[in-house]
Chain A
Amino acid sequence: MKILLAGLSEGVHSFSGYRKQGGYDAVEKMLKDMTPDSVIEEVKNAGIRGRGGAGFPTGMKWGFLDKKTNKPRYLICNADEGEPGTFKDRYLMEQIPHRLIEGMIVSSYALGVNTAYIYIRGEFKWIIDALEQAINEAKSAGFLGLNILNSGYNLSLYVHPGAGAYICGEETALIESLEGKRGNPRLKPPFPAVSGLWGCPTVVNNVETIAATPWIVLNGGSAYAALGVGKSTGTKLISACGHVAKPGVYEIEMGLPVEEFIYSQEYCGGIRNGNTLKAVIAGGSSVPILPAELILKTAEGKPRLMTYESLSEGGFQTGTMLGSGGFIVMDHTACIVRHTWTLARFYHHESCGQCSPCREGTGWMEKVLYRLEHGLGTSKDIDLLVDIAKNIEGNTICPLGDAAAWPVASAIRHFRQEFEDHVKNKNIHHLHHHENTLKDSHGH
């Protein structure tokens, strides 16, 4: 079942191609037959949860929007995709830009918004151009601007580029950035739903979440909720990378067994070169890494499914999270210490510097991991890392601190022996890194 990537073809990139496949039918139906509240009701019934990584129910988030003030309300699409391993929003916007534009119209109408922004990472210059072109096409066809389809509803939609800062994917940092400031996250409360962009009630939603709303309007929330398992309803884009035979973006119905996702020809096609699966980071670089046996089956031996609940079964001891759907796969040639070091370096680079535990702790973890990876570590360093991670977690105003701590803590939890081997055998890094050559990665 495809919702987000339905109708994927050459022509669907253009307004006319998208329209031919039923594109913008949801806007027509909604403006003719539905009140904003009834759209919100359908989204609540759909049970869709925020696809950026947090998994918060979208309908509930929309319900928090303060409608009592006289201030304007804003919708911002978070297209600042940058969680390592995640490249799904980019793919959707490249392939079917109008699906996001239509979703922005649907969501804005539901929320009583007349001005909306798509905050997109500045590096995606060609996507910014494609979205601006799509906005112009939709405007010419009467789906954006003043008095849309003679309904009396007005909506202006703008694309706003970021400039290379992962932290701006955090919604309050994103709002600061859209106000022309450094991307320093705000203390909550107040939440953006009460005081967001320019102090006005604001909803920030991920690209994938917004792009699902036209389908929900056309087919009904209950049809969406009928897909998936339990509280993981609908479909999810998963971006698979690393050592799989077929990296790429796949739309799956929630509930697909992880094993099928990795090994089926329909999806990842197994591990490259027939290699052995070693570990997976299932939901973007922030979520705990799991060894092969725990990603395929839970500690109790149940098959692991692609749902919020199944992936988190066992808590952080033996489970992980669905997160953003950035699925990083490692075969037996991968060095967990090196990989963890690159992630620590990433979070150190991306820490905004506001909270001391994160500012100091991310740099400290990077240094210690550098030592371990380069044969300069001691066995005390491993416990030191665990201690630093523990002292960052929960002690910062935004989730970047947790996001930096979890990969380090989980890598040591599940692969401690490999860290110890790096201490005992100083030259170990030479042994496995030469295995990971370009020839390998392009061997399939």
Chain B
Amino acid sequence: MPKFSDHLIKKIQEKITCYPEGKQKSALLPVLHMVQEENFLSPEVMDEVATLLSISNIEVYEVASFYSMFHLKPVGKYVLQVCQTGPCCLIGSDTILSILKKKLGIEIGQTTADGLFSLQAVECLAACGKGPVLQVGNRYVEQLTEEKIESLLSELRTAG
């Protein structure tokens, strides 16, 4: 079994207190977000979450596989998620995806050989007024241009 850090376990236990007694299953989504900051959601990780929330393993699997923010397979350190829905498409998201594919040398859904970047096309991020947009980690990068992509990639490469 994977071992969660004491810090993570404490955060999970605090989160459970946001819901009435016996309704700890409600903490599942926030807990999966917290866990995913340290690991992708492998079956072993999900089993550990099930134990901590006193629910069955299948209850975690069925939820983790439903929501598009959860990674059930290993991904790159930085997952670049480019919005491709209508409003972003109107203002150039196709071009943004082409630029990223070329600069990273990968197709949508792939990860670079050094494990640093994954490229994904995602649906509406609610940033339509400042598109084209991509999400990486906890932030949005909006009004994308080739120059912005270039500086984002070099920033992330430097951070390593």
| Residue ranges of A at the interface with B (Cβ–Cβ < 8 Å) | 72, 81-87, 90, 115, 121-126, 158, 160-166, 177-183, 198, 239-243, 247-249, 285, 326, 328, 330, 334, 338-339, 342-343, 345-346, 349-350, 352, 433, 436-438, 440-442
Contacts and interface: CB of A to CB of B under 8 A. Distances in A.
Contacts of B69: 122-123, 163-164
Contacts of A326: 128
A69 to B, nearest CB: 16
B55 to A, nearest CB: 8
Nearest to B31: A180
B32 A243 contact: no
Nearest to B89: A342
| Residue from the set B84, B85, B144, B146 with the largest chain A CB neighbour count within 10 Å | B85
A198 B30 contact: no
Given A166-B123, A346-B124, A85 B63 contact: no
B80 to A, nearest CB: 14
Contact of B89 (A126, A182, A239, A338): A338
Contacts of A158: 18
Interface of B: 18, 20, 23, 25-30, 32-33, 53, 55, 59, 62-63, 66-70, 84-87, 89-92, 94-96, 122-132, 135, 138-140, 143-146
Given A164-B67, A180-B29, A436-B92, 11 more contacts: A84-B123, A122-B69, A160-B30, A163-B67, A163-B68, A164-B122, A183-B66, A241-B90, A343-B85, A346-B123, A438-B145
B85 A84 contact: yes
B32 to A, nearest CB: 7
A433 B94 contact: yes
A442 B142 CA distance: 12
Nearest to A331: B90
A344 B131 CA distance: 20
Nearest to A165: B67
Contacts of A334: 90
Q: Lowest 3 CB-CB distances: which A-B pairs, in order? A: A163-B67, A180-B28, A441-B91
Given A158-B18, A241-B128, A180 B59 contact: yes
A84 B92 contact: no
A369 B55 CA distance: 42
A252 B16 CA distance: 41
